[in-house]
Amino acid sequence: MLKVVKFGGSSCADATQFAKVKSIVQSDPARRVVVVSAPGKRFKDDHKITDLLYLCAAHIKYGVACDDIFGMIRGRYSDIARGCKLTISLDAEFDALWERMKRGEVSDDELASRGEYFSAKLMAAYLGFDFVDAALWIKFRFDGSVDQAASYEALQRAADGRGVVIPGFYGVMPDGHVKTFSRGGSDITGALAAAALDADVYENWTDVSGILMADPRIVSNPAPIRHVTYNELRELSYVGAQVLHEGAVYPVREKGIPLNIRNTNDPTHPGTLIMEKVEDEADNSDSFITGIAGKKGFSIITVAKTSLSSEHGVLLRIMEVLEKHEINVEFILSGIDTVSLTVSSEQVQKQLYEVLGELQKELKPNSITVVEHIAIVAAVGRRMAYRLGTSGKLFATLGEHGVNVRMITQGPDELNIIVGVEEKDFEQAIRVLYDSFVKEKNVL
């Protein structure tokens, strides 16, 4: 049994958090491969090490001294080393880095990556594991994609069944230069390590007890999701839920490895388990909605023309106009005499009149209307599929609370129901759906 465990910035923020990581790792001998982020915030107005490193890089670029910021960064690591009673010293490496920075030899990516590098050095010493540099195995191609086969092979050789700590967030280009992933990229490192080593599970330890069923800024104290499938997760993130980056999911999904999101500050909580398929026995949740998410910023363009649906190639011509202006159509609904297109307001804004003019010329419709300030709200859940009454209950709930529905779609797999509402009703719609589907459970 092998568990690859990744700890985020808040789990590595100081010596107290390091101690929690140690006890989590030591409580299960299967947790042999540990990926760490750079130390994050210890309290609300604190700084993340990665932000400070980028700040140093910006100072250097504009020729402004950054001794103080660099000193703060060093100080964070020496505090952790002292608090964990470690005897290893990072001084020589920090001095060497500083000299190279002064000579302009350190790229922004390399500098940013040192946050994870030093974090992993300390964690390896603390756990008594070996340090395995990500630069030894995460291999980028020149186009910025990861060469998975070469990377996996290199890690299999480097890890070799031992207890190891790997810094997250970076790898190397074919010419040996350090390259970072986008922000939050240590999640990707963890997923790649789990996939490379065919782990039984990829545990991603954060500071929340899993993915929440709704946005906590809208719903107070939403429950965490216990089980979710990779498909449901995609649906939720597509409509705005802040979940894992696609790159952090793809490598493990491809190998059929479950991903478990856990809370370092509440280690006995099971968190959220993401799998390809959730077996019915495991599925003991009493809500048949997995999550509710949504986002604002949409417009609905409706083209009306008598007998439009019997005219050939109408949709194609509409799509050609939108394609020319690089506008993605999020949802498309057609009736006998109308076609409605839900598009991102931001994409359409600057060229709205041009687009409408071209649609007018191409289709000679009776009318074209545009409704702006639309939000989409989606209820997602595999247990909803083929269940009678779900959409009835959803619309009744919205109606009873005065939320007017402007657009409705449901995929044929019945994994979600998506509605378009006015932006002013967005928060209310999410709240009432949560209350009615989750809090009041399943009474249909």
Binding site for ligand ASP (CB under 6 A): 8-9, 37-38, 48, 50, 115, 168-169, 183-187
State which residue, 186 or 209, has the beta carbon closest to ligand ASP.
186
> Are the CB atoms for 40 and 53 separated by under 8 Å?
no
Nearest to 49 by CA among 95, 94, 82: 94
State which residue, 168 or 271, has the beta carbon closest to ligand ASP.
168
> Are the CB atoms for 378 and 293 separated by under 8 Å?
yes
Q: Which residues contact 276 (CB under 8 A, 6 or more apart)?
A: 229, 230, 253, 256
Look up residue 436 and give its DSSP letter: I
At closest approach, how far in Å is the CB of 345 from ligand ASP? 29
At closest approach, how far in Å is the CB of 8 from ligand ASP? 6
State which residue, 195 or 244, has the beta carbon closest to ligand ASP.
244
How many whole angstroms separate alpha carbon 210 and alpha carbon 263? 7
State which residue, 196 or 248, has the beta carbon closest to ligand ASP.
248
How many whole angstroms separate alpha carbon 429 and alpha carbon 375? 10
Provide the pairing of β-strand 3-7 with 259-263. Answer: unpaired
Q: Is 413 exposed, middle or buried (0-12, 13-18, 19+ CB in 10 A)?
A: exposed
State which residue, 247 or 420, has the beta carbon closest to ligand ASP.
247
Q: Which residues contact 300 (CB under 8 A, 6 or more apart)?
A: 340, 341, 342, 343, 370, 371, 374, 406, 407, 420
At closest approach, how far in Å is the CB of 257 from ligand ASP? 19
State which residue, 146 or 300, has the beta carbon closest to ligand ASP.
146
At closest approach, how far in Å is the CB of 66 from ligand ASP? 18
Provide the pairing of β-strand 416-422 with 367-380. Answer: antiparallel
At closest approach, how far in Å is the CB of 205 from ligand ASP? 12
At closest approach, how far in Å is the CB of 54 from ligand ASP? 9
3 state SS of 437? helix
Q: How far is CA 302 from CA 294, 295, 360, 425, in A?
A: 22, 20, 12, 21
State which residue, 185 or 247, has the beta carbon closest to ligand ASP.
185
* Strands lying side by side in the sheet with 3-7: 130-131, 164-167, 31-36, 3-7, 201-206, 259-263, 272-275, 227-229
Q: Which uninterrupted H or E stretch holds 10? A: none
How many whole angstroms separate alpha carbon 89 and alpha carbon 111? 19
At closest approach, how far in Å is the CB of 237 from ligand ASP? 17
At closest approach, how far in Å is the CB of 168 from ligand ASP? 5
State which residue, 185 or 291, has the beta carbon closest to ligand ASP.
185
State which residue, 48 or 262, has the beta carbon closest to ligand ASP.
48
At closest approach, how far in Å is the CB of 163 from ligand ASP? 22
> Are the CB atoms for 60 and 98 separated by under 8 Å?
no
State which residue, 183 or 439, has the beta carbon closest to ligand ASP.
183
How many whole angstroms separate alpha carbon 63 and alpha carbon 41? 27
At closest approach, how far in Å is the CB of 12 from ligand ASP? 9
